Structure 1
Amino acid sequence: MNNIEITKREIIVSISILAIMLIIGVLVGDKVNEYQQDKEAQYNKAFKITKDAELFTYAMKTNIGNALVEGELKADKPVNYKDEIDGEYLVLEKIKEKYTMHTRVVTYTDSKGNTHSKTETYWTWDKVDHDIKMAKSVIFLGINFDTSKFDLPSTSYIDTVNGGYHIRYKFYGLESKFNATIFGNLKNNTIANDNIKVYKNMTVAETLEEVTGNISIILFWVLWILITVGIVILFMYLDNNWLNT
């Protein structure tokens, strides 16, 4: 970007871009804030249950509605790869990687200022296969549910196992049991909704603290400012001779 000359017209257009992006940001930000406030209201008004299986069962039976419920979540029948890694899990992923050679063309300048190109090789571990095992059902506060109803936490890295020449296997898993707080609609003797949010290793109070923060609106504005600055910089970098016609 050496010797870039910025004209008055480019400055005026850049200010216009900033103004337009600010207006759009305010409109979108209001929607994000409105969504966050609705979510906070839902969680704050939700019925609270802490490790009470009888109250949990009663709440489902009496159609209590939205509830934050803390308790142990565990796989009914945990899954494993017995011959490859130890332990049993609620979710278990096995990723096969192959050490693969690639080529690329690189350009360089010699001591005389001449430009040359050459092909070089490099090696990377590339994903070639992915297998996942998941317990079909889970038990929460003594009640059995289909695992597919829950929005489970992400798996964590377990181990890497050598698979022979230029092959390795990476394993990721979610423990077979852990304490969690869930948010769901309790009615008709079950949790009626799908995609039940699971807050792993968090109490009801900790879940409320996380949900009712302003992190979403802060992240939106940080991202929006970065996008806006990027657009302005790109505009200034381009050849804008059309502004002079």
Structure 2
Amino acid sequence: MNSNFKWVGGIFLSVLCIFFDIIIATNINHHYDKRASIYRLALKTTNKDKFNYIIDSQQGNVITNAKLTAVSPVKFREMKSNKKFFAVSRTLEEYTMHTVTTTDSKGHTTTTTYWTWDNQGTDYKYAKQLEMFGRKYKLAKFDISSYFEHIDAKKIVNGDNGLTGYYHYLDSDTRYRYEVVPTTITGTFIAQAVNNTLKPVKGYSNIKVTHEKYKEYLADKQSKHRLVTIVVIIILLLVEAWLIINIIIDW
């Protein structure tokens, strides 16, 4: 193939990639502009009376940082009576035998046996309600999953059979490990004040509570994140340049 055709083909592919990159950059910017607008226009307060007034007057989206406390904390049956939590997860692990059979180049077969602790499933318990700024809300509307943290079984479980430590052993081949959310947490979130209560903002399935500090949360969510767009476009340009060069060489 002559060099002139290669140059024309390379220019055509370059123009096509640039057009594609512009569309990608526009969509990324639109996404972050739209998100930033939601957070920028939302009411913002950490004051109890003002927050409750926003709910009572159904003023729309609101951002706050607040202390959330479990109403009727929960526990699993094997836990000590004074160990209750906002939420608790219990993962069952079983010591399971595995075998792997391999054949070498000479046709000799080798079987290797090994044992591992395998996850058999996780159970969860959540308090049904939380209290915030003197009012109660259904916990089901909120996402507090980022607050789960591991806790040693020996701190919360009755009767360790001489085996409890990091895990709670039911027997030598079966054990539980636990993660919990303390009965009181502090977090930042955005929610919609409507019908004298809170619900997730449009486009979200729940009210996500985060560890972020109030000012940091506002700064991050209201940012248009232009750096993300720049990084994505640079990566695309590098990949596209590599592909175009290789295509031209193959021609």
> Normalised by the shorter chain, which TM-score bucket?
0.7 to 0.9
After superposition, the C-alpha distances for 1:97-130 in whole angstroms (9 at most, x for unaligned) are 0011111133556xxxx57442211221111132
Q: How far apart, in 1, do the equivalents of 2:140 and 2:73 lie?
A: 15
Normalization by structure 1: what TM-score? 0.72
Alignment of 1:82-101 (within 5 A): 83-84=78-79, 87-101=83-97
2:127 maps to 1:131: no
Which residue is 1:5 aligned to?
A: none
- The correspondence for 2:185, drawn from 159, 178, 183, is 178
User: In 2 relative to 1, CA 76–29 (structure 1 residues): closer, same or farther, beyond 3 Å?
Assistant: farther
User: In 2 relative to 1, CA 57–125 (structure 1 residues): closer, same or farther, beyond 3 Å?
Assistant: same
Q: How far apart, in 2, do the equivalents of 1:167 and 1:19 lie?
A: 61
- The correspondence for 1:188, drawn from 195, 201, 204, is 195
Secondary structure at the counterpart of residue 171 of structure 2: coil
2:199, 2:207 within 8 Å by CA — same for their partners in 1?
no
Q: How far apart, in 1, do the equivalents of 2:39 and 2:180 lie?
A: 29
> What number of residue pairs does the alignment pair up?
217
2:131, 2:137 within 8 Å by CA — same for their partners in 1?
yes
Share of identical aligned residues, percent?
24
- The correspondence for 1:59, drawn from 36, 54, 59, is 54
User: In 2 relative to 1, CA 115–218 (structure 1 residues): closer, same or farther, beyond 3 Å?
Assistant: farther
* Structure having the larger proportion of residues in strand: 1
Q: How far apart, in 2, do the equivalents of 1:169 and 1:39 lie?
A: 41
Q: How far apart, in 2, do the equivalents of 1:158 and 1:219 lie?
A: 41
Normalization by structure 2: what TM-score? 0.71
2:48 maps to 1:38: no
Amino acid at match of 1:221: V
Query: 5+ residue gaps in structure 2?
Result: 1-8, 153-166
The CA RMSD over aligned residues, in Å, is: 3.7
User: In 2 relative to 1, CA 219–73 (structure 1 residues): closer, same or farther, beyond 3 Å?
Assistant: farther
Which residue is 1:7 aligned to?
A: none
1:29, 1:220 within 8 Å by CA — same for their partners in 2?
no
User: In 2 relative to 1, CA 76–102 (structure 1 residues): closer, same or farther, beyond 3 Å?
Assistant: same
- The correspondence for 1:165, drawn from 160, 172, 175, is 172
Q: How far apart, in 2, do the equivalents of 1:91 and 1:165 lie?
A: 27
| Bigger shift: residues 204-213 or 96-105 | 204-213
Which residue is 1:209 aligned to?
A: 219
Query: 5+ residue gaps in structure 1?
Result: 1-12, 237-242
2:73, 2:85 within 8 Å by CA — same for their partners in 1?
yes
Q: How far apart, in 2, do the equivalents of 1:117 and 1:39 lie?
A: 59
1:153, 1:199 within 8 Å by CA — same for their partners in 2?
no
Q: How far did residue 210 of structure 1 move? A: 2.9
